[in-house]
Structure 1
Amino acid sequence: MTVPQGLVSFPGVAQVLGASITLGHGISPSTAQLRFAPQPGFATEVGTLTFTWNGFEVRLPDCKVDRGNLVRNESGEVWQVSLVDRRWKWRFGHVSGRYNVRRSDATVQGTDGGSDELVVDTERTPQQLAEIYLEAMGETAFDVSPLPNDARPPVDHDYDNPAQALGELCDHLGCRVVLRLDNSVALVPVGVGGELPAAFLLEDGPSFDLPEKPDRVAVVCGPSDFQVDFPLEAVGLDAEVLSDGSSGETIKPIEQLSYRPAEGWAQVDVPNFFNLGTGETGEQAKRMQELAAKSVFRYYRIRLPVNVPGYDGAPDGRIAKLEQVLPLFEEQVSTARENGARTSLPAAVFGVWHPGLDEHANTQATLVPPAEGGEENEAKSPFYTRGFTIDAARGLVIFDEPVYANAIPDGAKVAFDAAKLVLRAKCQVRDAESLAVTRHVRERSTGNHHGTGCLVLKRDELTVTHVPQYDPSSYAGDPVDGKDPRQVTSITTNLAEINEECDRAIDRALASFERPAPRQVRAAGIVPVELDGAISSVSYQVGAAGATTTVTRNSEPAGLALGYRERRAAETSRRAAARRASLTLLPGVEDLVRRAVAGGRRAR
């Protein structure tokens, strides 16, 4: 009986002596090794590598010559050339777009039940995202239907590589990218797929592929968002002498300013402060008046102590130093509908202040949180609706005009006093010692006890939010024994929904460590076998000893230089390096960005 001969062909090669390739999962190309007799004029760069045997054929179009060398041994001279399959093209191309943009309450801007359509629809299912990426990769034949379609992963692409984006999407959803023998692309769930071939078997037996399994898996979410009613204290600018002897300015509570009138601020000349500096030289008095006009009753700073409701890094959520909540955000966690879209409310200032109406009454007698549903534009509303700026880096609210309270509302004239104000804004909290930002962490044991560290799955798009309701009866109290006296009656949070998403991510991670019945077979000849979620590699080899096909299921070949996890790590590292290169700022730009962030911007 004549044994069928395995053949290999590649354009421009006259006499192929042998070839091999191991096809695997992922976005990186597999590499073929082609050996052929020396010949003049070999100039092919891209072509179809074809394996044939006994009527079976495996065609790999658009393989690219990567590198080669001439080998001399006792058998003579042989060219050895490396080819990469057509996934080499996936290193190129770009995709841009921002999808599944999350509101501050961690829901997606898009459609809510069909009746809540927004002006800008950013919602895309995982299968829709995959189609966007594959089309940007130049693919026309693909199957994304096996991809789980419930999640809504936020993505923000700015000329990113689409294959890298597709690989990350599949990682999040427990799937792999495979290139099929019909030249199409499929996205397949890990561990789900066909059986090993049963014909022409030379070897058949169990294998093992023991993954490096950690003791614990944790999902680390993005920085947690906290809405806080920050009490404000009136501060002002004072002159100081810097270490180099030059003049500078410092910020102090107004009761500690060097130019505070002996009798207090009640009868000062607001807004000009011309009656300051009595008894001082002309230049000194002018300097005092300038500093006061610029800052007194216009600068208000977050007053410590303050508790951050929902923060569990300290007793009662207490903040020890201002740096823990800086920089501030110019929005709240709470949202509202505006022009058909749900958006974050702007940061708001409210409290006891004198609105400047004909009567001398303040906006309210006692500091209490505004009533639910109260309008900011109501007459004598506690909300301050005139111009102000939030200096996010320093925790300051800077008003366009002096804001003060009338200390004697029923008096004949206004007695100036610091307003009792509150800034309602979003913040993120940093640890008092390390200044590491607070993130929600969902952790689970894998059952191993090898003393390993924790496998961390970063999911910055998952944000736990906290919106408190304060008890009005304790709202106006002054700090007692260094503690914020205000009590919180309830906190609205999305923690349960975030934990559900974290659990799904942990489930997928744990599933990736399982190797159900790993097995490997080697068959005579060239047997076309499709890669899928279970069939993880197919090797074809043709040489003087004949042709063989080796297939692994739920494992990888022992001699593989880089396993799938190592390949993905290398791909991710390359993408991170490319991102760092693209974010390098030009000379001078970095300083402009830093100044813009520090300066704050006009509040709405």
Structure 2
Amino acid sequence: MSSVPYGSFRYPGIEGVVSARYTRSLGIQPGVATVTIAPLQPDDKPIARYGDMEWSYGRIRHVMKDCAVDDISQSTSGPTLWTVYILDGRWKWQMGEISGEYNYKREGSGDIEFRSRKNCRELAKLLVEAMGYTDAKMYDIDLMPDNRYTHVKWDVDIPAVKLQELCNKLGFKIAYQFDGSLSIVEPGVGEALPDNGTLVSPQYSVDAVPQPRSYIFTAAPTQWEVDIPLRPVGMDIDNMVRSIQNLSYRVYPKDLMVKGYEWTATQPQSIVIPSENSTGRKYTKEQHEHVKSLAKSTLFRWYKVDLEKFASAKWSEANGFDGLPGLKNDEERKVGDNTGKDKDEDAETEFSLVNLEQILPLIPTLVRERETSLFDKKLETPEVIRAYVWGKYYKGSGGSVNTSHNVECLSLLSNPSSDPENNEALKYNRGFSVDETTGIVKLSDPAWINASSVRTKVKEVPDIVAFDSEEEKDEKIKILPAMLWIRCTINFRHKDSMRYWRHLVSRDGDRYSPAPPMFILRDDIEAGYYRKVPAGAGPQPKPDEEAQYKPTNNNTEDLTWDNIKHVEDVANYYLDQKEKEFAINTPATASYASFVDVRLDGAINQVSFSITAGRESTCVVSRNTEHDLEQLSYQEKVKVAEDAAWARELIRFQARQSRRKQRDKR
């Protein structure tokens, strides 16, 4: 009868092993081998601080390189024994550094800066190389998607911690193998429990993980490219911004913009303001100078969002708010009370625009710049399409805008050439700035209309002041405020809670679960809409197949373009990963009367070796569960790493605050 082999353990400087036990689990925290030995004698070779740990049983031999002794303790009762705690090679993962920022958005844009673009597999490669894995044979990151992009910002961070964060976001885990190699694995996917003839006691059960009622992918605030009408405003003597007809220094009909402005070809030479306000009260000399300065710097230069006109304008006709696509989507309405239940009461006001803050700050770029594919590596960085001002205004001698375009012909549907994308003459071609937080557009030069060009259109004249008759109105007015719009991008916020409107994609979970929905937030993915007015009649060119933005319903005659399919493709990927975390699986743990040669993967979560002198050695393997209750679970280890990262950020913040205070004192 052949003798039963016993397992053995070796480590430089360790002799007289009484027992040894080691558990290898998923994650970045090092596994700990607990080795009990007889005390070393003065003449014995000391235990090495670093070395290779070897576990063997018969023909099975595993050598784990670059391990480290963490602690040595001595028993206080019974026979004097030493316990040596040895960390596997992952102790090195708690060190190192990586810095960089990738997949960040261009300023004022929703598109990724081309030079910073790296897909998730490329990000993972940067991280594993920073962890010391320079040989591609020693790591397997093929499961990481090469068509997903997520924003990361690393600043002297630990590479392994950031790799775990990336894996958690994508629904993967990290496996450390006996040979020191690293693998990215998918939870629940892997080998079955091994059956090598030494299986002693398999144990199976059903792991019914508590689930939410539904999963809801939540994108960044939805963006709409719109044309917002502007109204003329000015700064009053009390430093309040008011409509031009409500300014205290407004002029009278007899002087209306005739004595007040003397024109050159492009702008007023001077502005003459009456020496008394609209109520007849005389200004002091200082007040008069101040009023003249205010008028010169703001009249016909400052135009503000006309909320009332914008709220009533139709999306289908003029890029207005009424009928914004995607706003009244049933799925989006579910986010109202965060329960996943429909919120139908007060349905009309749920989507109403009643105050300017609901669309501020204005986003000074356009959605349409993102028609190009995010994944075409041959593309140079697309030029950012900035917001612009357009409409009807005097361009100086020979300018045609005022004579060839009246208000009635500015309908984008009835006259496609009146869309500024198809008619450059409509764009304001001088400098301007946008106060994104107040909705005020500040022009570098005054913009106005020569009233003579609309002499027969007195109904178009804004009610700046009162007139006794239409005839007097027609006679007195020489110039008018420009008729302007700003084409920009907005988000929309609910009128009461001021929460941002976001595109949601939901998926059923456990319909009987009392738990609320689980929300998966991705603030770097946003839905976007814009209207594309054809430049002329006839068939329109089809968009690039790889383009992110396409006509709604894939109909090139549809004026609304969006990227909903792209957003929902991304959403379904993350919903798939989240479902796998909560999938019902069959956990199993098996004990073996020998060591077994098994790798960690998405299903094999833990492997333990145990040796006791003079007894048979054992091995325990767990599938879709963890058997070693003395160790933290995978979820607990992740939480510890997150807390450590948070504490590290807190220390950095406190250090910055301390330095700032020191500078302030100096």
SS at the partner of 1:275?
A: coil
Query: Is contact 1:389-1:399 (8 Å) kept?
Result: yes
Greater CA deviation, 123-132 or 415-424?
A: 123-132
Residue 285 of structure 2: aligned partner: 282
Could you tell me how far apart the structure 2 residues matched to 1:64 and 1:466 are?
57
Cα-to-partner distance string for 1:251-276 (whole Å, 9 max, x where unaligned): 11111111112337533234642333
Tell me which of 151, 157, 160 is aligned to 2:147.
151
Following the alignment from structure 2 to structure 1, what is the Cα–Cα distance between the partners of residues 110 and 237? 45
Matched length: 556
2:481 to 407, 412, 418: 418
Deviation at 1:461, TM superposition (A): 2.2
Output the CA distance in 2 between the equivalents of 1:512 and 1:360.
64
SS of equivalent to 1:464: strand
Does structure 1 residue 540 correspond to structure 2 residue 641?
Answer: no
TM-aligned CA distance change 1:174 to 1:360, over 3 Å: closer
Correspondent of 1:59 among 56, 60, 63 = 63
The equivalent residue for 2:626 is 556
* Cα distance change on mapping 1:374 and 1:435 into 2, 3 Å: closer
Identify the structure with the greater strand proportion: 1
Q: Distance in 2 between matches of 1:506 and 1:377?
A: 41
Corresponding position: 1:349 with 2:339: no
Q: What amino acid does structure 2 have at the position aligned with 1:191?
A: G
Residue 490 of structure 1: how far off its partner (Å):
4.3
CA shift digits 1:100-135 (9 cap, x unpaired): 5678997777xxxxxxxxxx5555444333222211
Letter in 2 for 1:46: Y
Residues 243-282 of structure 1: matches in 2 within 5 Å? 249-263=239-253, 265-267=256-258, 268-269=260-261, 270=268, 272-278=270-276, 279-282=282-285
Aligned to 1:76: 79
Q: Tell me which of 549, 563, 580 is aligned to 1:494.
A: 563
- Partner residue, 1:332: 366
Q: Kindly state the Cα deviation for residue 554 of structure 1 after the two structures are TM-superposed.
A: 2.0
Give matches, 1:60-139, under 5 Å: 60-73=64-77, 75-99=78-102, 120=114, 123-139=117-133
Partner of residue 302, structure 1: 305
What RMSD, in angstroms, separates the aligned Cα atoms of the two structures? 3.5
> How far apart, in 2, do the equivalents of 1:107 and 1:236 lie?
35
Q: Which runs of 5+ in 1 are unaligned?
A: 110-119, 241-248, 473-488, 592-604
- Please state how far the C-alpha of 1:390 moved relative to its aligned partner: 1.1
State TM-score, norm by structure 1: 0.82
Maintained 8 Å contact 1:100/1:152:
no
Give CA-to-partner distance per residue, 1:132-167, whole Å, 9 cap, x none: 221121112334364153532233333343323322
- What's the CA shift for 1:500? 2.1
Cα distance between partner residues in 2 of 1:52 and 1:445: 48
Q: Identify if the C-alpha distance between structure 1 residues 522 and 122 changes in structure 2 by more than 3 Å, giving closer, same or farther.
A: same
User: CA contact under 8 A between 1:19 and 1:541: conserved in structure 2?
Assistant: yes
The answer on whether the counterparts of 2:225 and 2:489 sit within 8 Å (CA) in structure 1 is yes
Shift in alpha-carbon separation, 1:561–1:416, aligned structure 2, 3 A? farther
Distance 1:59 1:451, change over 3 A: same
TM-score (norm 2): 0.75
The aligned counterpart of 2:185 is 188
8 Å contact kept, 1:105–1:334: no
Question: After the TM superposition, which residues 165-564 of structure 1 pair with which residues of structure 2 at under 5 Å, given as runs?
Answer: 165-199=162-196, 200-240=198-238, 249-263=239-253, 265-267=256-258, 268-269=260-261, 270=268, 272-278=270-276, 279-305=282-308, 306-307=310-311, 308=321, 309-310=324-325, 311-312=327-328, 315=348, 317-335=351-369, 340-358=380-398, 362=402, 364-366=405-407, 367-369=410-412, 371=416, 381-409=425-453, 415-468=478-531, 490-544=559-613, 545-557=615-627, 559=629, 561-564=631-634
State the alpha-carbon separation in 2 of the partners of residues 98 and 126 from structure 1: 13
How high is the sequence identity, in percent, across the aligned residues?
26
In 1, the alpha carbon distance for the partners of 2:163 and 2:489 equals 33
Does the aligned pair in 1 maintain the 2:121–2:146 contact within 8 Å?
no
Looking at secondary structure, tell me which structure has more helix per residue.
2
Is residue 207–residue 555 contact of structure 1 (8 Å, CA) maintained in 2? no
For 1:130 and 1:373, locate their aligned partners in 2 and report how far apart those are by CA, in whole Å. Answer: 49
Tell me by how many angstroms 1:521 deviates.
0.7
Mean alpha-carbon deviation: is it higher for 275-284 or for 412-421? 412-421
Within-5 A mapping of 1:562-601: 562-579=632-649, 582=652, 586=656
Residues 120 and 150 in structure 2, CA contact (< 8 A), matched pair in contact too: no
| Partners of 2:211 and 2:513 within 8 A in 1 | no
Asked if the contact 2:119–2:150 (Cα under 8 Å) also holds between the matched residues in 1, the reply is no
Which moves more between the two structures, 9-18 or 32-41? 32-41
Cα distance in 1 between the residues matched to 2:627 and 2:506:
32
User: What amino acid is the match of 2:273?
Assistant: N
Aligned residue type for 1:553: R
Q: Secondary structure at the match of 2:39?
A: coil
Maintained 8 Å contact 1:515/1:554? no
Distance 2:229 2:650 in 1: 39
The answer to whether the Cα contact below 8 Å between 2:12 and 2:47 also exists between their aligned partners in 1 is no
1:550-598 Cα deviation digits (max 9, x unpaired): 001122226254322332233334334545655679569999xxxxxxx
Whole-Å separation in 1 of the counterparts to 2:571 and 2:433: 37
Is this contact kept in 2: 1:360–1:409, CA < 8 A?
no
Greater mean alpha carbon deviation, residues 567-576 or residues 82-91: 567-576
